[in-house]
Amino acid sequence: MKMTCIPMKTAAAVLLAHHSQSADAVESARRTALLESLSPSGFLWWRALGAELFSPHRVVWLGMGTVWVLIVALHFSTPDAGGFRESAPAGGQDSFALISNAPLLAQLGVKTDAYRFDSR
Amino acid sequence: MPPVAESYLLLVQAARKQDMGAWNRLLKQHEMPLFVYIAELVQDRSAALDLAQETFADAVRHIHTLRSDEKFAPWLFSIGHQQCIRHWRRKKRENAIIDREAAADAAGGVDGPGPEAIESEDPRTTLIKKEGESEFLAQVGRLPELQREVFLLRTLEDFSLQEIAAIVDAPVGTVKSRLHHATVSLRSMLRCSRFG
């Protein structure tokens, strides 16, 4: 019995011929897949946006995202020495109202040491 | 694979822009080899049709992940390969559930052919298998999955060892070894004169 290699092209032809009866079904599968994937209902704008905008520059986007996350993390991790986050200082209008009334408050016996510099 | 023609590259570029005509022509070139590859791997025609359809749809959806236009065919086959792996995992889970349900029924060997292979072994098929080509096909079906996939990729699309390694996600040396073992197994069973 002669034992030699199997010619690759012939083997491919045998395999393709064996499945040739499925050719129509495969073609139909291809058409269905393309219709579903390329039709307007199947075309998702966010996917296209991702493909056009995000994917080609993903390193840049990820880098920027990381920087922002770090900035936010650092901001909230530093101690609130001035106590600004807990109680905001009085606005300009409020301060002016207090300063204007300092003499009246003094007459009423209310200590206005905080505003002494204004009463001079 | 032989050098890629310029017209082929133009088709890939048009496909990137979601051109239906380009997609049709591109996939038409590869659909039968891809289907045969999947069908021979999963040994189930209807499942292979579903997997081929999913592969086409995935290719359209993820064309932006294709880095090099010349590598479209290996890329398409790698999607098909991943679909087969997912199919096997699903099958394994389903079989595990069935096995648990039918725990009392201890018939059937663990190392024998899979359930699909057993189903296909009807008397008519056995008779046809005595013919040369059917004998070859049956022998291909009997190859271990890892050997079968590299053999099919080499045979159907004439992919290079590097391309096959990328598709099956294995080192080139491993691919070479699997291909060698597959060829030796087939050679020992078949005579060249039947296919020459």
Distances (CA, A) of B130 to A29, B76, B187: 32, 35, 16
- B39 vs B53: CA distance, rounded Å: 12
Predicted interface score ipTM higher than 0.90: no
CA dihedral of B141, B142, B147, B153, whole degrees rounded to 10: -10
The pLDDT tens digits along chain B (196 residues) read: 566 677 888 999 999 988 888 999 999 999 999 999 999 999 889 999 999 999 999 999 889 889 888 899 999 999 999 999 989 888 888 777 777 776 666 554 444 444 444 344 444 444 444 466 777 888 888 889 899 999 999 988 889 999 999 999 999 999 999 999 998 888 887 655 455 4
Which residues touch B183 (CB under 8 Å, ≥6 apart)? A5, A6, B151
* B187 with A6: Cβ contact below 8 A: yes
Half-sphere exposure of B3 (CA within 13 A, CB side): 2
Half-sphere exposure of A67 (CA within 13 A, CB side): 6
**Chain Cα centroid distance, residue A101:** 50
| pLDDT(A3) > 70 | no
Whether the CB-CB separation of B57 and B29 falls below 8 Å is answered with: no
pTM above 0.90, yes or no: no
Which A residues in the span 18-57 are in contact with B, Cβ-Cβ below 8 Å?
A: 18-20, 22-23, 25-27, 29-34, 36-38, 43, 47, 51, 55
| pLDDT tens string A7-46 | 555 788 888 888 989 999 999 999 988 888 877 655 567 7
Pull the structure tokens for residue B109: 């060997």
Q: Residue B32: how many CB atoms within 10 A of its CB?
A: 19
* B188 with A3: Cβ contact below 8 A: yes
Which DSSP letter does residue B103 get? T
A62 touches chain B (CB under 8 A): no
Q: Residue B45: how many CB atoms within 10 A of its CB?
A: 16
Nearest-CB residue to A6 (from B24, B50, B186) = B186
Which B residues in the span 66-85 are in contact with A, Cβ-Cβ below 8 Å?
A: none
- B92 vs A95: CA distance, rounded Å: 75
In single-letter form, the type of residue at position B24 comes to: N
* B24 with A30: Cβ contact below 8 A: yes
Q: Residue A113: how many CB atoms within 10 A of its CB?
A: 6
Distances (CA, A) of B53 to A10, A33, B57, B137, B156: 27, 6, 6, 24, 19
Which residues touch B60 (CB under 8 Å, ≥6 apart)? A33, A34, A37, A38, B15, B18, B23
Nearest-CB residue to B49 (from A12, A17, A29) = A29
A8 touches chain B (CB under 8 A): yes
